[in-house]
Amino acid sequence: MASVLRRLKGRDFLTLLDFTPLEFKALIVRSREHKWGLARGNPLKGKYVAGIFEKPSTRTRVSMSVATFDLGGVFLELPTSSLQVSRGETLRDTAQVLSRFVNAIAARVKSHSTLEELAKWADVPVINMLSDRFHPLQALTDVFTMMEFFGERKLKVVFLGDGAANTNHSLMIASALVGYDYVVGAPQEYWPDGDIVSKVEEIMEETGGTLRIVEDPVGAVEGADVIYTDTWFSMGVEDIERRKEVFPPYQVNSKLLSHAAPHVKVMHCQPWFLGQEITEEVAYGPHSIAFEQAENRLHTAKAVLEALLI
């Protein structure tokens, strides 16, 4: 696996579509070594990571910065309001200037095209800390967490709610990379983007996973090992009233859980909005592993930083 990780050096981490099943697996194995305290030393000593934030963040911000510091490096907090991009400096110049100072650029952005533009001009790896289309650091953690609880076996993972959300797109790809049976339960107007679905299906042909996209939430969760949900109102969405109308049947509550496997685990990337996509009873109940999932962001962040930078 170490030789597979070496292939990642210098690469961008914009979407999991850019990684092979083996490369993804290597990141999971390395995350486990970090969690278990088997990875020692300060591999990022003398390395700097620029952390650009166009949107709020708690877990991603803190896990990426603590991971960098823990590995011996320095993470620079750069809200876009404090950068010259806020006065019109181009992403091209920002990327080129930052590349003279730092060893990686991590960014949480409104539009995925911002990351692509940064990556086009940067001489250092660019890491997606969430865009409107993808949240790859989250999905790596999600599959890592599922494997902690279930081992390596094939799982039935069901995502309920906004199927066009960044979290679902990335989790679909991550699940394809490990060959899971993945179901999206969502109103048809919020089904995942077609271009991503096609790529997920291609990966699944290789890994033996399956993808089903349905409207019926009860049918979707039948026999589920994992039920995953995310906010119905991702940062930046505008059609709030429509979302309020169509998403309530997809709420993850005790009644819905009774249709899943008895051992079902409930996951949520957080922050959650209790009483909307998930009830308080389920969020803090015995099936929920959301806080383990949140903690694991640290271990997977370390694996990604180390793989790209050293």
Residues 174 and 115: their CA atoms lie apart, in Å, by: 20
Q: For residue 168, state whether it binds ligand CP (rule: CB under 6 A).
A: no
Among 17, 165, 174, 267, binds ligand NVA (CB under 6 A): 165
Q: For residue 138, state whether it binds ligand CP (rule: CB under 6 A).
A: yes
Overall size of the chain counted in residues: 310
Q: For residue 278, state whether it binds ligand CP (rule: CB under 6 A).
A: no
Among 160, 269, 289, 309, binds ligand NVA (CB under 6 A): 269
Q: Stretches 85-93, 105-113, 163-171, 215-223: which one binds ligand NVA (CB under 6 A)? A: 163-171
Establish whether 112 is a catalytic residue.
no
Q: Stretches 90-98, 165-173, 190-198, 200-208: which one binds ligand NVA (CB under 6 A)? A: 165-173
> Residues near 95 by Cβ (< 8 Å), separated by ≥ 6?
105, 117, 118, 119, 120, 121, 122, 126
Q: For residue 170, state whether it binds ligand CP (rule: CB under 6 A).
A: no
Task: Report the nearest approach of ligand NVA to the CB of residue 234 (Å).
Answer: 3
Establish whether 162 is a catalytic residue.
no
Q: For residue 114, state whether it binds ligand NVA (rule: CB under 6 A).
A: no
Among 33, 57, 149, 199, binds ligand CP (CB under 6 A): 57
Q: For residue 293, state whether it binds ligand NVA (rule: CB under 6 A).
A: no
> Residues near 128 by Cβ (< 8 Å), separated by ≥ 6?
13, 14, 15, 106, 107, 109, 112, 115, 134, 135, 136, 137
Q: Which helix (H) or strand (E) holds 204?
A: helix 194-207
Catalytic residue among 30, 112, 133, 135: 135
Establish whether 297 is a catalytic residue.
yes
Within a 10 A sphere around the Cβ of 115, how many other Cβ atoms? 28
Residues 296 and 186: their CA atoms lie apart, in Å, by: 27
Residues 163 and 187: their CA atoms lie apart, in Å, by: 8
SS3 2: helix
Q: For residue 130, state whether it binds ligand CP (rule: CB under 6 A).
A: yes
Strands (E), 69-189: 74-79, 104-108, 126-128, 156-160, 181-185
Establish whether 243 is a catalytic residue.
no
Q: Which residues are catalytic?
A: 108, 135, 138, 230, 269, 297
Residue ranges in contact with ligand CP by CB under 6 A: 57-61, 130, 138, 269-271
